[in-house]
Chain A
Amino acid sequence: MKRTIVLVISLLLIASLAMAGCSKGEDKPAAEDTGKTGEASEGTKEAGKDAPEAGAEPEVIKLRAFQSSFGEDPSNTGLYKAWLEKMEAHIGKKLDIEWTYVHSDDYPEKLKLQLASGDVPDILSGTKDAEIMFQFGNQGALLDIAPYIDEYAPNYKKFLESTQYAEKTLQTPEGKMFFFGDGFQNDTGMVDSAYGSLYRFDIFKKHNIKVPESWEEFYDAAVKLKELYPDVYPVNAQEWPPFHETFYYTNHTKGDIYWNGEKFVYGPTEEAFKEGIMYVHRMYKEKLLDPEFLTQSQDQLKQKVTTGKSFMIPFAWLGWWEQYSIPEQGIEWGAAILPKNEKYGEPWMQGAALPGLTAYPNYGTMISAKTKYPEIMVQLLDYQYSPEMIDLMTWGIEGMNYEVKDGKRVRIMDPSEEVKNAKLEWYGEGVTRQGFVFAPQNHAPDVSGYKDMPFYGKGQYESLNPFVGTGKFHSGKSAIPTWDLAPVIRLSKEDEAKKAQVMTAVKTYLDENLSKFILGERNFDEWSAFQDELTKIGDYQSIVDSMNELAIK
C-alpha cells in the first residue's frame, strides 16, 4: 500500500521533471519566446474560432484586463452592465472581457511580475509609481499610444490639452506615451481639499480661545490650554502628515527637491524650512507638543484625542473628525484651514483638487504592446474620458444613485432595496471604480459623499462640508502648491537609479537629523554645519541642476 503511494508520487514527479525539461528548452531564451508562443497559440485559437469570417474584423473582441481592485468584484453589477452596453455601442462590436482582479495591496507586486515575466494582458491598471510604466514601456512591453491619440482618443486629448506640462509629465523625452494618465475632473468651480487643522471646538468655545488662524495664534492657544490643563499636551500630530510638513504648505517649502514655480530647488536649504523645524522644536521644548508624536500609532493617537489628552492637531485628513468626536461626552472636533505664516502669505492646500480636466502621471491605464487590436484598445480607454462615461461611472444612474435637488446633483447615500437588488449600489461606496481601472475620477460626487462637519473660518463657527470649507476659506488657484503643477522629469533608468541612491541617502540623513533638531538632541547653532554634512552625504545639487536642465529644455 505505502509502497504504491510512493511509487505514484515518484512517477508524478518524474513526469513533472519531464515537463520541466520540455519547457526548459523553450524557456532558455526566456520571456520573449514564451510570450511569442503564447501569442501564437492564442492566435491560432482565435483563427479557428473565427474561421468563417477570415479576413474580416472579428465581431467579438476578446481581451484580457488585469485590474487593481478595491473591494468586491464590480463586474457583476448593474453599473457594469450599463458600462459594457455603452462601450459596445461606441466601438460597434461585442466585447468578451476576461477580468482578473487583484486587490490593491497586492497589485503592484503582481503587476511587476506580469510585466517582468513577459506575460502582458491587453489592458492593465497602473500603479502609483509611474516609473514602472515608463521603464517597462521603454523596454517594449507597453504600447506607445502617442501615434493613436489624434485619431482614436479625442476625449483623452482634451485632458492632455488642459494639463499643465502634460508633455513633460506624461511622455518620454522621445515623445512616447505608455499609458492613459489618471483623469480628474473638477466641475465644482472650486479649488478645495480634505486636509486642514483639527481642534477640539468644545474646549475652544468653553474657554473662549480663538481658533488659530496664524502660527502666533496657534502658539498662544497652546500656551493657554497648557495653563488650563497642566497635565495635558495640547498639541498632537498625525503619523501622516507629520507636524513639520504643515510648514511645507504654510511656509511654501518642502523637505525634498521641489518645483517652486520657476525651477527645481532643494527645500531643506531654505530659511522657510528651518523656520518650520524651529517652530516644532519650540512646541516640543515647552511641553506643548505630545512627546510621543514621532513614535505613536494611529490607535494611540485616537486614544489620546478621544480622552481629552490633546486638543489641537495642526495637519490632518479632516475626515478623522468624526472618529475623534464623541457627542455623548461632548467631545467635538472641528476643522479650520492651516494657520497662516504672514511672511509667506496664504497657506497652500494638501491634495488640492485642480479645476477643470487634469491627467495625472500616476495610476494610469496601460495597453500591452502585444495586443492584437491597438486601435480598439485605445478607443475603449479613451471613451472612459468622455463626459457621458465619467457621469455614468462616478454619478451612476439618476434616481438610483443620485437625485437632483435645487438643480444640483446629490448622491443617494442610502440606496433603496430596488437599487440593491439590481446590484446598482456603488460597491465600496465610490471607492471601487467601474470599468477599466483607473478611469477618470469626478470630484463632485466625491464632495457629495462627505458629510458636513464643524468648521471655523473668518471668525465664525459653521457646519460645512470639509471640501466646501477649505474651498471657501482659501482663495482658489493661488492655494495650489507649486509642486502640484510641476513638470515631472523623466530620467533614464540609469539616472533614475542614481537619483534614488543619492536622494535616499540624503533623505535618510535629513530625516534622522530633523528629529534630532526637533527633540533638542542637536542645537540650531549647528544648522549650517548640518547643511555642510548634508552636502557631503550626497550631491543633491547636481541632481537639481540636471532636472532643471531637462525642465527648461
Chain B
Amino acid sequence: MNGNVVSKNSFWRRCIKQRYLIMMVLPGFVLMLVFKYFPMYGILIAFKDFNAMDGILRSPWAGLKHFQAFFDSPMSWRIIKNTLLLGLYSLIFGFPAPIVFALLLNELRITLFKRAVQTITYFPHFLSTVIIVGFVHEFASMDGIINHVMGWFGVDPVPLLNFSANFRSLFIGSSIWQELGWGAIIYLAAITGADSALYEAAVIDGANRWQRIRYVTWPAIVPATTVMLIMKLGSILSTDFQKVLLMYNPNIYETADVIETYVYRLGIMGTQYEYSSAVGLMLSLIAFVLITSGNYISKKVSENSLW
C-alpha cells in the first residue's frame, strides 16, 4: 500500500498475502472467463466470410469489407447521427430524471404515502414495449391526451407521430414515463447510506431543506451517480430498437431511423452474420471509447471512477 515503487517481487508477495481475496474473486473470474471471454472469438466473424461448415475460425478472411459496406451506404451518416442524438438526448433527459425523483421522494414525510408512490411508479416498468408503444400511439393520436392539452393553448390537433420533429420527445418521454420509478430504486438504496447523524446535526445547525439535500443527501448518492453515469455513457448507442421499430413510420425516418432499424430493414441479417457483427463491433468500440473517456474525465474532476 505504501511505497510508490512496486517491484515485481513485491507484486507476487502481495498476491500471496492477499490469496484469500484472490480466492473470493476466483469463482466469478472463472465464470466470466468461460461465458463472456471464451465466446469472444466470435468477434472475428466481422473480418471473415463466414461459412457455417468451416466454422468461425476456419472461414476465410475478408479484411474490412463488411465495415466498408456499412460506410458505403448513403444512409450511414444519417443513421449514425440519429443513433447518437437519440442516445445523447436520452442521457441528458433520461439520466437525471430518476435522481431528481428519488430526491423528491426522499423529502416525503408520510411513510405510507411515500411507499405507495414508490410502488405505483414502478409499475410501468413491467409492461412490455409493445404495450407501452400502444399507449404512445393512443396519447399521440388526433384525439389523444397530448393534442387535447395542446388544444387548451389553441393548437390544432395533428397526428403527432407524422412529424419527424416529435419523434425524439415522444420516444424519450415515454421511456422516462416507463422507467422513472424503476430507475429511482438504486438511488433510493444509495440514499439509505446517508448518515442520519449528519442529517440531525444539519437540522440542529438550522440548515434549510435545500441545504440538507445539498450537503447531506446528495453527497451520499454522488458515488453511485458518477458510476452510473459513466456506465450509461457506454450504452448511448444501444437504442431500444424494438421500440423504434414499433413507433416509427417512413415519414419520420429523418429523425427516427437508427443504425439498428436500418440494419434490420437491410434484411440480410438472416444470412450475413458478418455484416451485423461488423456493425456491432463498431458500436462496441465507440462504447468503449466513451466509457474510457468518461472514466478519465471523472477521475480528473472527482475522486470517483470505475478504475
Please report A residues at the B interface, Cβ cutoff 8 Å.
Answer: 6, 9-10, 13-14, 16-17, 20, 24, 28-33, 108, 112, 115-118, 127, 129, 131-132, 135-136, 139-141, 291-292, 294-297, 299-300, 493, 496-497, 500-501, 504-505, 507-509, 511-512, 514-516, 519, 536-538
Q: Mark B130-144, 1 if CB is under 8 A from A, else 0.
A: 000010011011100
Known contacts A13-B30, A493-B271; is-contact A511 B253 (Cβ 8 Å):
yes
Q: A136 vs B270: C-alpha distance in the bound complex, in angstroms?
A: 10
B250–A299 CB distance below 8 A: no
Give B160's nearest chain A residue, CB to CB: A295
Give A291's nearest chain B residue, CB to CB: B159
B52–A136 CB distance below 8 A: yes
7 sample A-B contacts, Cβ–Cβ < 8 Å, listed by A number = A118-B52, A129-B270, A292-B159, A504-B75, A507-B265, A516-B251, A538-B74
Q: Is B155 an interface residue (CB 8 A)?
A: no
A500–B257 CB distance below 8 A: no
Instruction: List residues of chain A with CB within 8 A of the CB of B250.
Output: 294, 508, 511-512, 514-515
Instruction: List residues of chain A with CB within 8 A of the CB of B72.
Output: 501
Instruction: List residues of chain B with CB within 8 A of the CB of A501.
Output: 69, 72-73, 266, 268
Distance in Å: Cβ of B138 to nearest Cβ of chain A: 7
Q: Which of B23, B251, B266 contacts A519 (CB 8 A)?
A: B251
Q: Which of A295, A514, A516 contacts B137 (CB 8 A)?
A: A295
Known A-B contacts: A118-B53, A500-B267. Give 5 more (CB < 8 A): A24-B38, A30-B57, A501-B73, A505-B75, A538-B74
Please report B residues at the A interface, Cβ cutoff 8 Å.
Answer: 23, 26-27, 30-31, 33-34, 38, 50-58, 69, 72-75, 134, 137-138, 140-142, 158-159, 161-162, 249-251, 253-254, 257, 262, 265-268, 270-273, 275
B73–A505 CB distance below 8 A: yes
Q: A291 vs B265: C-alpha distance in the bound complex, in angstroms?
A: 26
Known contacts A291-B142, A292-B159, A501-B266; is-contact A29 B52 (Cβ 8 Å):
no
Instruction: List residues of chain B with CB within 8 A of the CB of A296.
Output: 137, 141, 159
A31–B54 CB distance below 8 A: yes
Instruction: List residues of chain B with CB within 8 A of the CB of A10.
Output: 23, 26-27
| Residue picked from B23, B52, B75, B270, most chain A C-beta under 10 Å | B52
Known contacts A131-B271, A296-B137, A512-B254; is-contact A500 B266 (Cβ 8 Å):
yes
Known contacts A295-B162, A514-B250; is-contact A20 B270 (Cβ 8 Å):
no
Give B265's nearest chain A residue, CB to CB: A504
Instruction: List residues of chain B with CB within 8 A of the CB of A519.
Output: 162, 251
Instruction: List residues of chain A with CB within 8 A of the CB of B38.
Output: 20, 24
Q: Which of B140, B142, B265 contacts A508 (CB 8 A)?
A: B265
Distance in Å: Cβ of B64 to nearest Cβ of chain A: 15
Known contacts A496-B268, A519-B251; is-contact A299 B55 (Cβ 8 Å):
no
Give A108's nearest chain B residue, CB to CB: B270
A30–B58 CB distance below 8 A: yes
Distance in Å: Cβ of B268 to nearest Cβ of chain A: 4
A17–B34 CB distance below 8 A: yes
**Lowest 6 A-B CB distances belong to which pairs?**
A30-B55, A511-B250, A31-B55, A515-B251, A295-B161, A140-B53
A508–B58 CB distance below 8 A: no
Known contacts A14-B30, A295-B162; is-contact A508 B257 (Cβ 8 Å):
yes
A31–B53 CB distance below 8 A: yes
Instruction: List residues of chain B with CB within 8 A of the CB of A112.
Output: 270-271
A294–B141 CB distance below 8 A: no
A300–B138 CB distance below 8 A: yes
Q: Which of A28, A33, A136, A497 contacts B272 (CB 8 A)?
A: A497
Q: A136 vs B137: C-alpha distance in the bound complex, in angstroms?
A: 40
B69–A141 CB distance below 8 A: no
Q: Which of A129, A132, A299 contacts B134 (CB 8 A)?
A: A299
A17–B33 CB distance below 8 A: yes
A508–B262 CB distance below 8 A: yes
Instruction: List residues of chain A with CB within 8 A of the CB of B54.
Output: 30-32, 139
A139–B266 CB distance below 8 A: no
B31–A32 CB distance below 8 A: no
Q: A112 vs B27: C-alpha distance in the bound complex, in angstroms?
A: 33
B27–A292 CB distance below 8 A: no
B27–A9 CB distance below 8 A: yes
B142–A294 CB distance below 8 A: no
B142–A500 CB distance below 8 A: no
Q: A237 vs B251: C-alpha distance in the bound complex, in angstroms?
A: 16
Q: A10 vs B30: C-alpha distance in the bound complex, in angstroms?
A: 9
Instruction: List residues of chain A with CB within 8 A of the CB of B254.
Output: 512
A291–B75 CB distance below 8 A: no
Q: A141 vs B271: C-alpha distance in the bound complex, in angstroms?
A: 13
Distance in Å: Cβ of A29 to nearest Cβ of chain B: 6
Known contacts A17-B30, A300-B141, A505-B73; is-contact A28 B162 (Cβ 8 Å):
no
Q: A300 vs B267: C-alpha distance in the bound complex, in angstroms?
A: 28
Q: A6 vs B227: C-alpha distance in the bound complex, in angstroms?
A: 28
A291–B162 CB distance below 8 A: yes
Instruction: List residues of chain B with CB within 8 A of the CB of A299.
Output: 134
B253–A508 CB distance below 8 A: yes
Q: A115 vs B271: C-alpha distance in the bound complex, in angstroms?
A: 10
Q: A508 vs B53: C-alpha distance in the bound complex, in angstroms?
A: 34
A504–B57 CB distance below 8 A: no
Q: A14 vs B25: C-alpha distance in the bound complex, in angstroms?
A: 13
Instruction: List residues of chain A with CB within 8 A of the CB of B142.
Output: 291-292
Distance in Å: Cβ of B53 to nearest Cβ of chain A: 4
B270–A497 CB distance below 8 A: no
Distance in Å: Cβ of B217 to nearest Cβ of chain A: 34
Instruction: List residues of chain A with CB within 8 A of the CB of B251.
Output: 294-295, 512, 515-516, 519
